[in-house]
Structure 1
Amino acid sequence: MGKQACFIGTAGWGIPTRCRQDFPEPGSHLERYSRHFPIVEIDTSFYKPHRRETYERWARSVPEHFRFAVKMPKAITHERRLAGCDDLLDSFLQEVEGLGAKLSVLLVQLPPSLSFEPDVASGFFDMAGKRTQTRLTCEPRHPSWFEAEAGALLADRRVARVAADPAPVPAAASPGGWPSLAYFRWHGAPRVYYSDYDAESLARFSGQMAAAAASGAEVWGIFDNTAGGHALGNALKVETMIRQALLPSPTRGEGRSAFQITFNSRNARPSATRS
């Protein structure tokens, strides 16, 4: 069986009361979270900058295998709308590079009103590619980003397109762009950010992740339904489902597979650079 990398996490590392038994003390919430999960997405960076020293402190508080995704500021994506933002990106990168080798993905979430304009998109992603080797994933929400031209532009620049739930258009439910990284973001439905996912939805998500991993992609799954405190519980359930779906039976006498070693949160090592 080939090596398959499949990682589960949440947006932020808050631990609601209902999940405390799964993340025992001592330690900060991030320390406790990182003893179980191998990845996390920092989304507070969308709203406000964090000092480089803060990122350095976060990096020191997690295991060596742990990796971060960081969401780009809204000043870049929503205010300047990807145009003329070289200075803002430089400042952001100077901050997040405090994570060192534990920085693995940068998330570019676009406003629903931002349509695909080839010149703007190519200008931004070309500029970003010259400034950082960190992998990029883009979550567009305007329907024009799900046409073939946009997908080809992203793939050519090694930018993965997020698979989102709820999906603004049907194509948004599946990963696109650069095929080596499949990045899923589940925001909660029917009430975005608040709703708990039912068992049927979680089984569908785990199936999507398993299929993406089988295709050879590195797979990240992030639960963003944090407002009601459901993200962590959903992540724990999907983690179990994926193990049951993808891990070979130990009775075969083959020992631990490459996928088992990669998936296990204490051994997982998501790539920190583009590969």
Structure 2
Amino acid sequence: MRIIATAAWSIPKPVAQRFSQQGSGLSRYASVFEGVEINSTFYRRHKASTFARWAEAVPDSFRFAIKVPKEITHARAMKDIAGAFDTFLEDIAPLDRKRGPLLCQLPPSLKFDVDVFAPAFKAMRNADEGQMVIEVRHKSWASSDAFDLLKSYGIDRVLADPAPVWAAENFGEPPKYIRLHGKPRMYYSSYTDAEIRSFLDLSASQGWCVFDNTASGAAIDNALSALEIS
């Protein structure tokens, strides 16, 4: 089953009537969508009890994609991350089987360096066997060495739009995770139905399609359109 989701679960007033009128914001969101991407974990830690509460608020089939903390990706720049990554996993453990992919988004300045990323990915895989996806933003990642390293650790590449590194034609198989940030104005611009359909046609049948153009409220509108199209 393809999961169509947004980054976070804010429901703008103009579409509020399309969701359940009962329960928390998350439970109302989950009355329509099968998954959500949690971005707040990038900025700060949450208590394990918070994740437990979120897990209880959604149906059994619902899944959470979770963004890896910036302490790991940005502050540490993927060096000496084992301890911080273990702490992150402990925090999110209450999600249990409702946990979806872990999203690792690297800063634009972080180049591909096998001496950095091989031990980082090894530490991550020693700690966790679940799905991991990575969104990179430095051109050095457009290399066969980078592809090979990601493949060896079973880490899926994210197809982002706009695509700073990996365009759609760079994927030999349907991408398992698509992040749509909006263009021409990132985080604000809305997508047309034709554009949404083209991304859905590209995506893996069991993959994720996440709308991150949340700043203007376009994400929910676009995700609702995607549900109708798919």
Q: TM-score, normalised by structure 2?
A: 0.95
Residue of structure 1 in register with 2:4 after alignment: 8
Residue of structure 2 in register with 1:61 after alignment: 57
User: Cα distance 1:188–1:180, how it changes in 2: closer, same or farther (>3 A)?
Assistant: closer
Aligned partners of 2:20 and 2:31 also within 8 Å: no
Distance 2:126 2:180 in 1: 30
1:238 to 210, 216, 226: 226
Structure 1 residue 24: Cα displacement: 2.5
Asked whether 1:49 is paired with 2:45, we answer yes
Structure 1 residue 57: Cα displacement: 0.5
Moved more, 179-188 or 158-167: 179-188
User: Cα distance 1:70–1:176, how it changes in 2: closer, same or farther (>3 A)?
Assistant: farther
User: Cα distance 1:97–1:183, how it changes in 2: closer, same or farther (>3 A)?
Assistant: same
2:199 to 201, 205, 226: 205
RMSD: 1.6
Q: TM-score, normalised by structure 1?
A: 0.80
Distance 2:175 2:161 in 1: 17
Aligned partners of 1:45 and 1:70 also within 8 Å: yes
Structure 1 residue 153: Cα displacement: 0.9
2:66 to 54, 66, 70: 70
Aligned partners of 2:174 and 2:202 also within 8 Å: no
Q: Which amino acid aligns with 1:95?
A: D
Residue of structure 1 in register with 2:216 after alignment: 228
* Count of residue pairs brought into register by the alignment: 230
Asked whether 1:195 is paired with 2:189, we answer yes
User: Cα distance 1:91–1:176, how it changes in 2: closer, same or farther (>3 A)?
Assistant: farther
Structure 1 residue 63: Cα displacement: 0.4
2:17 to 4, 21, 26: 21
Structure 1 residue 127: Cα displacement: 0.5
Distance 2:50 2:171 in 1: 33
Aligned partners of 2:175 and 2:202 also within 8 Å: no
Q: Which amino acid aligns with 2:50?
A: T
Aligned partners of 1:187 and 1:225 also within 8 Å: yes
Distance 1:17 1:172 in 2: 34
Structure 1 residue 175: Cα displacement: 7.3
Structure 1 residue 77: Cα displacement: 0.3
Structure 1 vs Structure 2: percent identity of aligned residues? 42
Aligned partners of 1:16 and 1:229 also within 8 Å: yes
Aligned partners of 1:163 and 1:174 also within 8 Å: no
Aligned partners of 1:162 and 1:175 also within 8 Å: no
> Whose relative contact order is higher, 1 or 2, with alpha carbons under 8 Å and at least 6 apart?
1
Provide structure 2 residue ranges, at least 5 long, that are not aligned to the other structure. Answer: none
Structure 1 residue 172: Cα displacement: 3.5
CA deviation vs aligned residue, 1:190-222 (integer Å, no higher than 9, x gap): 11111111233222212212xx32xxxx21000
Residue of structure 2 in register with 1:133 after alignment: 129
Structure 1 stretches of 4+ with a deviation exceeding 4 A read 174-177
Residue of structure 1 in register with 2:154 after alignment: 158
Distance 2:44 2:168 in 1: 28
Structure 1 residue 73: Cα displacement: 0.6
Asked whether 1:34 is paired with 2:30, we answer yes
Q: Which amino acid aligns with 1:27?
A: G
Distance 2:134 2:7 in 1: 16
